[in-house]
Amino acid sequence: MATTTMENKPFKISGGMLAWGGLLGTFLLIGIVSAVYVFWNGLEVTNMSDSVPWGLWITIDLSSIALGAGAFTLSAVVYLFGLKKFQPIIRLAIYVGFIGYTAALLTLIMDIGRPDRFWHPWAYWNVHSVLWEITWCITIYLTIMIIEFLPVIAEAKIFAGWPWLRKFAAFVHKGAPLFALLGLAISLLHQSSLGATYGIVKSRPIWFKPSMPIMFILSAISVGPALTMAVAHVLEWITGKRALQHDILRAIARSSGLGLLVYGYIKFWDLAAVAYYGGNPSVSQALNVLNTQTPYNFAFWVGEIVIGILIPAILFLAPRYNRRPVMLVLGAILATTGIVINRWNVTVSGLFVPLSYSPGVLYELPAGRYFPNLPEWGIAIGIVGYALTMLTLGVLFLPLFSKQEH
């Protein structure tokens, strides 16, 4: 029986594809039912509260945006820095980035409580708000990715009878360097601003630090390309087709490993040296609250570093491991897990610590409490189902690996 390939050739539906489609359909159904339930009853049916208003959904939002960073990172490498050897993976990187950003937007629709007012940031400008700037940047960057990906869509078989569309897409493709430059600038703005959303809040001592924007950028540009590399390997295993040379994927892994080491170095000084030598009473009190009243003790931070930084860096950089695709995929999975843990940890642990309105004043309120309930988990499953469905459809119907590029 013929199998599906990335060359967009005719295919037959196998038993495995039916099972995979059934699993994706189940994920999507769970997400839709959960979304309808939340829309009908409001956010009060979740476990979020006034003291902990951000939880699982914001974690998914921040993680999706970070994991989609391979699009602007690899586009900049190819079109701005002239490293053409990475051009064959650009299409896949942009598509993975598009999936990540649209997944983040779907999550935000659920989290903002009033999705009918999604257009307000564009109509009512609040130039003093970091979240307003992030909304604009994400919207503009998503538009740029759609324009960048238009030539790939135009090459799909369904548009074979539309020569004008392909001519227009070819014309658009000539502006790829410009789009890469714009995408890099806007992406760096909103990736850093996501960290600044936390880093500028003085009443949250765990968040208030100038290194937060830098760590958000470094983690994104380190793990985003690694995820794209892992997706390429997995697609090769599934389809039985080697669309990319392994030395390209190994080079991406090595660069991600170096990025993780830099990220880990800054994180070490942020967690250890700054907290120790800074002598900030509010930070010490906040850490004491987390260690004594919540699950976010020191072991949790170490787990984030070991799982999300050290082990992936070893797998990406050590020759005995980075020559084995399975180890590179494992490293990408662990790095992705580290990103999710970090975004959860930054968001939720910071909210667990009571507000400190006066530095040096002891905390008298109990620590916050939060764990996602079934509707929240259901929507998270639906978002995962959406991402996997989009990736599956892209592999089946889009030329994600075109030899014409090189």
Q: What is the CATH number of the domain that holds 95?
A: 1.20.1630.10
pLDDT digits (tens, 9 = 90+) for 320-364: 998 999 999 999 999 999 999 889 888 888 888 877 655 555 555
Is residue 286 classed as helix, strand or coil in its secondary structure?
helix
Specify the pLDDT at position 309.
93
Share of the chain above pLDDT 70, in %: 90
Kindly state whether residue 10 falls inside one of the protein's structural domains. no
Kindly state whether residue 5 falls inside one of the protein's structural domains. no
Contact indicator for 14, 1 with CB cutoff of 8 Å: yes
Specify the pLDDT at position 356.
60
Q: Is the pLDDT of residue 143 over 70?
A: yes
Nearest Cα neighbor of 365 from 132, 131, 51, 4 is 51
Q: Is the pLDDT of residue 284 over 80?
A: no
Domain that holds residue 180: 15-405
Contacts of 320 (CB under 8 A, 6+ apart): none
Q: Is the pLDDT of residue 128 over 60?
A: yes
Distance (Å, whole) CA 183 – CA 167 = 23
Kindly state whether residue 291 falls inside one of the protein's structural domains. yes
Kindly state whether residue 1 falls inside one of the protein's structural domains. no
Kindly state whether residue 2 falls inside one of the protein's structural domains. no
Kindly state whether residue 6 falls inside one of the protein's structural domains. no
Kindly state whether residue 8 falls inside one of the protein's structural domains. no
Number of structural domains in the chain: 1
Length of the chain: 406
Nearest Cα neighbor of 4 from 322, 390, 397, 405 is 397
Q: Is the pLDDT of residue 156 over 80?
A: no
Kindly state whether residue 129 falls inside one of the protein's structural domains. yes
Q: What is the mean pLDDT of residues 70-74?
A: 82
